[in-house]
């Protein structure tokens, strides 16, 4: 009985594979679509049927309201889960190898735990803790185990001992001049920081990866034109652009994310282009081209997956810059004062450093630890995902 001969690599019908595989969805993509559909329906319901002054979930008795930034944030969380976390679970051998390399960097492991606290606090904290509210009578309350001169407090919540107001667990990290609870402000600031990290990273990755891979693979005049456009983006004064948009449309967290991510993808595009150029010269890419695979298939199935590890590392190191930029603008009074970010909290206490330093120190330390954690994790990911880079630098 004659048996069918196995297909030779150089005889594969790549056009048929490209047509059948272009729209085939992986289990991760299917899960992403299933998770995104209810989110899209909720946004449509919120946009069409909920009034401007009504809460999104008012129909079921909840006062929680969602704005467009919240929807985008949840969408980026879905992307993070289905395309970063779930693949690690699906490839346990690879995950064990990466974790073995990653945990060699002890500061990075501690940093991962800290960012886990910030992430969970930013997601769950606002559901358990009320938003910080203005209360002039409870202004300048000291943190637990500290005290302040009674003359600097309008109404001491705790005990008064020898003319000094003692801190209480009602306000574990004290309050601002306006009476806003510092601990609640830090928790809500975690949400803002996570929104900045996830949304800006998603936008930068989408634009930068697209530009970098297309430019590298196209080459010629296409590459030249695209890279000159990247040069313009990199040389554009982002701060002045933000001030101009602030003057026209007003300040806001969404506007900050849009402006800074729209002008921050240039470096990622250049980095992806350089990595894609090196991958494109590999023998397996040349063999795939010779066999007749389409450009789309080569880029999607071979180029992007082989530069993904470098992209993840580079994006991780970008996040501290975004967090620091928001804090700097808020400290200068340029950001939206209604956004409960760490920068706004630091700005609220800058005039009270002489007798109420906790207002600045508490969010300042949290911001410092978060930025430091991202840098440690970025370095550890570089060693774990790109061992050849470590070998070159040794």
> Using one digit for the tens of pLDDT, what is the confidence trace for 139-178?
888 999 888 888 888 888 888 888 889 889 998 998 988 8
> Does residue 66 surpass a pLDDT of 90?
no
What is the rounded distance in angstroms from the CA atom of residue 326 to the CA atom of residue 332? 10
DSSP code string of 136-196: GGGTTPPPTT-EEEGGG-SS-SS-EETTEEEP-TTSTT-B-TT--BHHHHHHHHHHHHHHH
Is the sign of the CA dihedral 122, 70, 184, 320 positive or negative?
A: positive
Q: Could you tell me the pLDDT band of residue 365, with boundaries at 50, 70 and 90? A: very high
Q: Helices then strands (H, E): number in the chain?
A: 17, 3
Per-residue DSSP letters for 273-329? HHHHHHHHTSHHHHHHHHTT--HHHHIIIIIHHHHHHHHHHHHHHHHHHHHHHHHHH
CA distance 254 to 70: 10
For residues 245 and 205, the answer to whether their CB atoms sit within 8 Å is no
In this predicted structure, what is the pLDDT of residue 24?
A: 63
pLDDT the model gives residue 391: 41
Judge whether 73 and 198 are in contact, CB under 8 Å.
yes
Average pLDDT across the chain, whole number: 83
- Category of 251 on φ-ψ map: left (φ > 0), alpha (ψ -120 to 50) or beta: beta
Contact 125, 187 (CB under 8 A): yes
pLDDT at 370: 95
More confident residue, 36 or 297: 36
pLDDT band at 182 (very low <50, low <70, confident <90, very high): very high
Average pLDDT rounded to a whole number, residues 75-97: 90
Dist CA 123 CA 118 (whole Å)? 9
Segment of 112-121, 332-341, 342-351, 374-383 carrying the highest mean pLDDT: 112-121
Per cent of the chain over pLDDT 90 is 26
Confidence of residue 59 (pLDDT cuts 50, 70, 90): low
User: Does the pLDDT at position 76 exceed 90?
Assistant: yes
Instruction: Quote the pLDDT of residue 382.
Output: 82
Distance of alpha carbon 51 from alpha carbon 71, whole angstroms? 17
pLDDT in tens, 197-247: 999 999 998 998 888 888 887 778 888 999 999 998 888 888 888 888 877
Task: Identify the three-state secondary structure at position 115.
Answer: helix
Residue 352 confidence class, pLDDT cut points 50, 70, 90: confident
pLDDT at position 45 is 87
Predicted pLDDT of residue 36: 94
Decide if pLDDT at 16 tops 70.
no
Q: Is the pLDDT of residue 363 over 90?
A: yes
Structure-token pair, residue 333: 């009074």
Q: DSSP state, 166?
A: E
- Bridge partners of 165, per DSSP, are 148, 160
Predicted structure pTM score: 0.85
pLDDT at 39 over 80: yes
Give the whole-angstrom CA distance, residue 45 versus residue 56: 9
Q: Tens digit of pLDDT for each residue in 324-351?
A: 988 888 888 787 777 888 988 998 888 8
Q: Is residue 393 predicted with pLDDT exceeding 50?
A: no
pLDDT value at 13 more than 60: no
Query: Given this model, what pLDDT does residue 390 score?
Result: 46
In the predicted structure, residue 2 carries a pLDDT above the cut 80: no
d(CA 71, CA 63): 17
């Amino acid at each position: 009985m004659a048996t069918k001969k196995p297909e030779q690599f150089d005889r594969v019908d790549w056009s048929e594979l490209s047509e059948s595989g272009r729209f085939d969805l992986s289990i991760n993509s299917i899960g992403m679509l299933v998770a995104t559909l209810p989110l899209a329906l909720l946004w449509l319901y919120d946009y069409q049927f909920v009034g401007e002054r009504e809460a999104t979930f008012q129909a079921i008795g909840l006062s929680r309201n969602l704005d467009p930034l919240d929807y985008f944030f949840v969408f980026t969380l879905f992307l993070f889960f289905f395309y970063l976390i779930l693949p690690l679970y699906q490839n346990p051998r690879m995950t064990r190898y990466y974790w073995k390399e990653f945990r060699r960097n002890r500061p990075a492991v501690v940093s991962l735990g800290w960012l886990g606290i910030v992430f969970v606090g930013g997601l769950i904290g606002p559901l358990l803790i009320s938003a910080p509210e203005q209360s002039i009578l409870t202004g300048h309350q000291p943190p637990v185990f500290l005290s302040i001169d009674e003359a600097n407090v309008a109404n001491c919540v705790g005990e008064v001992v020898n003319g000094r107001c003692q801190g209480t667990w009602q306000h574990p990290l004290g309050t601002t001049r306006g009476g806003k609870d510092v601990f609640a402000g830090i928790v809500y600031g975690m949400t803002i920081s996570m929104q900045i990290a996830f949304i800006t990273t998603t936008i930068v990755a989408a634009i930068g990866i697209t530009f970098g891979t297309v430019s590298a693979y196209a080459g010629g005049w296409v590459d030249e034109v695209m890279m000159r456009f990247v040069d313009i983006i990199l040389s554009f004064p982002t701060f002045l652009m933000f001030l101009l948009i602030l003057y026209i449309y007003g300040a806001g967290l969404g506007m900050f994310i849009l402006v800074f991510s729209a002008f921050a993808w240039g470096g990622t595009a250049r980095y992806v282009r350089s990595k894609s150029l090196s991958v494109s010269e590999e023998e397996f890419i040349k063999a795939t081209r010779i066999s007749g695979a389409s450009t789309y298939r080569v880029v999607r199935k071979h180029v992007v997956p082989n530069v993904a590890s470098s992209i993840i590392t580079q994006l991780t190191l970008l996040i501290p810059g975004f967090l620091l930029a928001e804090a700097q603008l808020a400290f200068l009074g340029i950001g939206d004062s209604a956004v409960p970010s760490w920068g706004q909290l630091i700005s609220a206490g800058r005039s009270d450093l002489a007798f109420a330093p906790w207002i600045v120190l508490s969010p300042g330390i949290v911001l410092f630890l978060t930025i430091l954690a991202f840098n440690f994790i970025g370095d550890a990911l570089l060693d774990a995902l790109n061992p050849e880079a470590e070998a070159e630098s040794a």
